[in-house]
Structure 1
Amino acid sequence: MIYPSLSQAKALSEGYDLVPVAYEMLADTHTPINLFLSMKETESSCFLLESVDNGEQWGRYSFIGMDSKAEIKIKDFVVTVKENNMKIQQRIDNPIQYITDYLNQYKSPKVENIPKLSGGLVGYFAYDTVRYMEKKLVNAPEDDLEMPDSHFMVCNEIIAFDHFRQRLLIIVNVPVNGDFDKNYSEATLRAGEIAQKIKMAVPKHKPKQTTGELSFSSNLTKEKFIENVEIAKEHIRKGDIFQVVLSQRFVAENAPDSFDVYRMLRATNPSPYLYYFKFSNYHIAGASPEMLVSVEDGTISTRPIAGTIKRGKTEKEDKELENLLISDLKERAEHTMLVDLGRNDVGKVSRFGSVEVTSFMQVEKYSQVMHLVSDVKGKLSEHKTGLDALMAVLPAGTLSGAPKVRAMEIIDELENEKRGLYGGTVGYISFDGDIDTCIAIRTVLFKDNKAYVQAGAGIVADSVPEREFEETENKAKAMLKAIEEARGI
């Protein structure tokens, strides 16, 4: 079944550049994992997005992206676009505006029964993207990983699993310009071709042959991390800041296959944002619990997570630790401060008086830790875009501090290397204007036979340095465990 029909698509096309059409087929013999395995080896770039609600129920949709129309990379104000077998590089003073202008060429309507990711930009903005907007951040640490500041696939075709209806949707976008009837026919033919590939798909997975012992190390000793905490507390005592998030980065030598690590993460640490990206020279696997920004039908949402404690070994201990977290004055004060920062960030791009906290300081539990969580919402101002909302919040206060800019300056002074992906955002910007992004935490970067995991802790006036160090270890534990266990798949 294909929808919308030609006549319906024509009616929807008024004022737009693209119209998504969907080829629907039964999906009861396929899973996102086995379909992705059958296709990823032939693609230089591809992705898989999944979701688990409250750590126990799979979200309605999983998305696969293959054969992207183009790729956009930004690094040090240089924008590189690969499209139609051509690569164009140009230095641009405002790379974020470039993304906005690019998206303005591809506006599409919302179509009934087609999920909100029907095509668009899928990828990430690194933590260091903030340097394009905040000119005070001039003393960047060493760029040892040499990651792009942003990297997006431009997806004209999306494969969506509807887990609720046991259906698979092959979504192809029809260009409005030119002969619409012909464009519609070509799009439906293309969807049919993809459907045939799916019917013939056989999972192909050759786990990476790892040699040598798996070993972990950190870019900081415990003593150095504790010293950094004391320096941060001195800044707080002097009134420079109220809070700052300091991190350490773990590296695993002789890393296992990146997709096997993703499989372990989704099994052992199911999260609202599960993602796997294969780019030409690096891969990303993540299980983030924390939304950065969602924009849907003009409503902006952000979801600060601040306040963390480990899970208990028994139900009784788990409840005791939950009560300890809820009653911890330091954690509550830190959480309240970061909710206020989230309100201020959302307020920059929201209609006056529309910002509200819709849920405050709830406990959410994950495989290794539990968190305090709140929800902040606002209505997007008339002349602002979803990308404006994303840039207003990036990086989240929960990964930087307050006041945000001064906290980021202190992070630059105390952390030896650029954060890169850690603390940035992963997700999509749909052609219909909606956005869904998470904070790039609980994420593993694979590059040059190594796996990198970074985790941080919020430092406030009464922080105990040893406890903050332990918090970073607890947050990294699920990823490090997944890396270890993936070698046994």
Structure 2
Amino acid sequence: MRTTISHNVENPEVFKQKLLLWSQQFHEVVWLDSNNYEQTYSSFDAVLAVDAMSSVQTNHCDAFNTLKQYQSNCKDWILGYLTYDLKNDVEPLESHNFDGLEFPDLYFFQPKKLFLLKGNQVEIQYLDIVENDLKTDLKNIQQMNKSTNQQNQDSVKIKMRIHKDAYFEKVNRVLEHIHRGDVYEVNFCQEFYAEDTTINPLETYFKLNEISKPPFATFLRLNDLFLMSSSPERYLKKEGHSIISEPIKGTAKRSMNADEDLQLKTDLSQDEKERSENIMILDLVRNDLSKTAKKGSVRVVELCKVYSFKQVHQMISTVVSEIENSVHPVDVLKSTFPMGSMTGAPKISAMNIIETLEETKRSLYSGAVGYFTPDGNFDFNVVIRSILYNESNNYVSYSVGGAITAKSDPLKEYEECLIKAKAMRDVLEN
């Protein structure tokens, strides 16, 4: 059972910062922040969960059934992540590429302490075994000061896993597959990394979030493993019987000049190649959702709409469906994973090509982070625009990618990757 109180905060932004600073004493942390970005389907402005009462951790083998059992038995808030390589549980696929990060394939935990922020109100839910901590914790949160966490961080020397010429060669191989009819679209990604490197995860997150202010920002800690994400993309949300997916495909840079920026946004909305990318993935998502949907309930509510973020313009479509009471929430995730925006179409063919041409395991990149509520609702982001860090291995990584279609120009695809990578690189290189 949980003890629940509602607490009023004068300045939500200051409280959020103090809350995240306070959370660093714990070994299990999930922080989700909308950055007050206007979202049609948002339930909370921010969520913090810390300190595991129970947890589940596994590799890809039978992972979704393991999660299903854990969620069903727990009947409480659980938060955690799904890595991209859970594809190997869904389909007869394998992953043998290099992995410098070594995240478990799946991890979820039931938090002893939970904070749900909306406007000037924070709902605080503590498991009864720690309810006596509540007043003390609130006092300690208010006393937190950002300067206590700050430390000088050396500039990180970033290396490319796939150099420019090799990238062109690999994209041309993807195009050969497309022209042969093996696949319509492949989301091809490359890793940037640093070895023998120490960073301050929370300070890195603060800097990344300040640059981007995305609607699905995440700070995640699992012992010595960290995710700092400035994701703009929702993977999947369940609210009652409704399922919502908002795939992103189509990117354009921003400009400081208002007229030029508006032109860049307009050009993206009318770009034939970008629209075709988006619609291909939208069709894939519709097909995925139909596996669990009531007949005739899958519908597109927004097609190729361009949204503006601090770093980039993005083309986003929204598709919804309705499910029966009998459908388990984990089955909705399993039937749509990995998200089409990070694979391509057809999905299995695209994933096989990805495995052959990419040189590292994606790990948590292009996976998802989110939560389940006690009544089986959920909300998950897509892990993109993110920095991953294994503190014990002193290994830092971020990956970026783009959709390769028949109309792709390798040079333009490469330049789009650099646009997407800019915020992570700026943060790490100071």
TM range (shorter): over 0.9
- Counterpart Cα distance in 2 of 1:154 and 1:75: 19
Q: Residues 83-135 of structure 1: CA distance to partner in whole angstroms, max 9, x if unpaired?
A: xxxxxxxxxxx22112111211233xxxxxxxxxxx52211100001101101
- Any conservation in 2 of the 1:27–1:161 contact (CA below 8 Å)? no
- Any conservation in 2 of the 1:443–1:453 contact (CA below 8 Å)? yes
1:400–1:209 CA distance, 2 compared to 1 (3 A): same
1:261-276 aligned within 5 A: 261-276=204-219
Aligned residue number for residue 450 of structure 1 = 395
- Counterpart Cα distance in 1 of 2:28 and 2:15: 20
Alpha-carbon distance, 1:161 to partner? 2.8
Aligned residue number for residue 390 of structure 1 = 333
Identity, in percent, stands at: 28
1:155–1:38 CA distance, 2 compared to 1 (3 A): closer
Aligned residue number for residue 126 of structure 2 = 172
Aligned residue number for residue 152 of structure 1 = 108
Alpha-carbon distance, 1:53 to partner? 4.6
Alpha-carbon distance, 1:139 to partner? 5.2
- Counterpart Cα distance in 2 of 1:471 and 1:59: 32
Alpha-carbon distance, 1:200 to partner? 3.4
Aligned residue number for residue 128 of structure 1 = 85
Aligned residue number for residue 462 of structure 1 = 407
- What is the TM-score of this pair, normalised by structure 2? 0.92
Aligned residue number for residue 20 of structure 2 = 36
Aligned residue number for residue 427 of structure 1 = 370
Structure number with bigger Rg? 1
The worse-fitting range, judged by mean Cα deviation, of 216-225 and 445-454 is 445-454
Name the Cα RMSD after superposition: 2.2
Q: Residues 174-229 of structure 1: CA distance to partner in whole angstroms, max 9, x if unpaired?
A: xxxxxxxxxxxxx3x84352122211343263335545x42111111011111111
Query: Tell me, which stretches of 5 or more residues in structure 1 are unaligned?
Result: 1-17, 78-93, 108-118, 174-186
- Counterpart Cα distance in 1 of 2:345 and 2:39: 33
Q: Equivalent of 2:192, from 242, 250, 270?
A: 250
- What is the TM-score of this pair, normalised by structure 1? 0.81
Amino acid at match of 1:45: E
1:34-433 aligned within 5 A: 34-41=18-25, 43-54=26-37, 60-77=44-61, 94-107=62-75, 119-135=76-92, 137-138=93-94, 140-162=96-118, 164=119, 166-173=120-127, 187=128, 190-201=130-141, 202-203=143-144, 205-208=148-151, 210=153, 213-252=155-194, 254-433=197-376
Alpha-carbon distance, 1:47 to partner? 2.4
- Counterpart Cα distance in 2 of 1:353 and 1:156: 41
Alpha-carbon distance, 1:59 to partner? 7.9
Alpha-carbon distance, 1:283 to partner? 1.0
Alpha-carbon distance, 1:376 to partner? 0.3
* Other structure's SS at 1:215 match: coil
Alpha-carbon distance, 1:425 to partner? 0.7
* Other structure's SS at 2:193 match: strand
Amino acid at match of 2:107: H
Alpha-carbon distance, 1:60 to partner? 4.6
Amino acid at match of 2:174: A
- Number of residues of Structure 1 aligned to a counterpart in Structure 2: 421
* Other structure's SS at 1:357 match: strand
* Other structure's SS at 1:410 match: helix
The worse-fitting range, judged by mean Cα deviation, of 231-240 and 267-276 is 267-276
Q: Which runs of 4+ in 1 moved over 6 A?
A: 55-59
- Counterpart Cα distance in 2 of 1:196 and 1:138: 48
